[in-house]
Amino acid sequence: MSYFQNVFDAEFQGNLLLSDRQFNMTFKVKGNSPNSSQLFQSWNPAPYNVSTNNSLTLNYSFDAGNSWTTLTINVSTGAANASAATAYEVVNALNANATFQALFTASVQGDPKGENTYVAIKSTRPREKFKVYVSNGSAEIPLRFNKRAGVAELPTYFARHTIANKSLFPDSVGMLQQLDLTTTRDQQIVQEASLTYSVGVTNSSATATVTNTNPFAVGDSVVVFNGTTTLSTTISSITANTSLTLAANWTGSTGAAQLADVHADYQLLRGRSGLFQFQKLTYDVNHRVISAIEYSAGALVGDLAKKTTYHYATNDTNNDPDIIAEVPYTLTSSDLVTPP
């Protein structure tokens, strides 16, 4: 139930090995293409407001990402106006750093029409084992080297493949960064990846329009933010315009805000797992099960399930049914259960 960002050019592919090969699931996060460890550029054009967010942090590795060294450079140095630094001024600040000079060369990149300028960084080291990525935050916020990096929601299990956890798990590929939707920095990243939805906020309530391209489900956790205030809530019912009741202490401005849908891990299985099963049970007055609706974790309304009915002999109060019938069944909203 986390959002992850892939800051490298190769696509991330993670597999969940479930009870049967046909149920195995692959989760992907596209790469940071066309940026790579050899050549990468900012995607926001100059000028840049680096008056406060002025530290650009480059992380480089000589052993294919098994260990990392951090290089932080103040890119506002030498800018005539740090609130509107030019691409040339940022490039000069980078090239003036001795450590940077030994590893990279910075230059100004223009667009085909000559209307905008960007910062480009080229590695001077061979690509075989040299890797580099830009840390999120500070100067990365106005420059956005990672603006086109892949972002996706994955089960928490895949946190083992983050850069921070590379040394903790022998199978870790160390490609991902786990995002935190309570921070303005990571909210921007998810918004730019088109993974948020516009909502209207009035006082302490919001209305989000549910679309067929990404149906919400009962029990979904959602995060609503507007740049200064962040709140979480849970969807209790689904309609064409689902009303999301926010806490009474919402202090954000009224009007437009952004909403990110945050699924529980089991919801991301989308009903394809034969390993994790949910049951909705119904009992009679004698506390005997008379029906059981069983489905794979993450299934939604309209998905296939199995309904088992139990029949007991007339006036028989024991717990042994005389008829058990299993039939195909189509899930309705009332059949879906949320783990306690």
| SS3 readout for 68-120 | CEEEEEECCCCCCCHHHECHHHHHHHHHCCHHHHHHEEEEEEECCCCCCEEEE
Q: What is the pLDDT of residue 198?
A: 83
Instruction: Show Cβ contacts of residue 284 under 8 Å, excluding neighbours closer than 6 positions.
Output: 290, 312
Both structure tokens of 36: 């790579």
Q: Which amino acid appears at position 53 of this protein?
A: N
Which DSSP letter does residue 43 get?
S
The span from the CA of 243 to the CA of 205, in Å, is: 8
The span from the CA of 233 to the CA of 251, in Å, is: 15
**Residue 120's beta-bridge partner residues?**
41, 107
- Candidates 3.40.50, 3.20.20, 2.40.10, 2.40.50; correct CATH number of 184-268? 2.40.10
The span from the CA of 19 to the CA of 158, in Å, is: 18
The span from the CA of 44 to the CA of 150, in Å, is: 17
Question: What is the domain partition of the chain in residue ranges?
Answer: 34-147, 184-268, 277-335
Residues of the chain with pLDDT under 70: 18-23, 203-205, 209-215, 237-252, 315-317
CA atoms lying within 13 Å on the CB side of residue 103: 20
Helix residue ranges, H only, the chain: 87-95, 98-103, 140-143, 184-192
Q: How far is CA 213 from the centre of its chain?
A: 17
Cα distances (angstroms) measured from residue 147 to each of 45, 175, 184: 12, 16, 15
Q: What is the pLDDT of residue 230?
A: 84
pTM, whole model, 2 decimals? 0.88
Cα distances (angstroms) measured from residue 265 to each of 173, 221, 340: 21, 11, 14
Instruction: Show Cβ contacts of residue 115 under 8 Å, excluding neighbours closer than 6 positions.
Output: none
Q: Which amino acid appears at position 73 of this protein?
A: I
Which DSSP letter does residue 157 get?
G
CB 36 within 8 A of CB 106: no
Q: What is the pLDDT of residue 228?
A: 78
The span from the CA of 211 to the CA of 152, in Å, is: 18
In the chain the first and final C-alpha atoms are separated, in Å, by 16
Q: What is the pLDDT of residue 25?
A: 84
Q: What is the pLDDT of residue 217?
A: 72
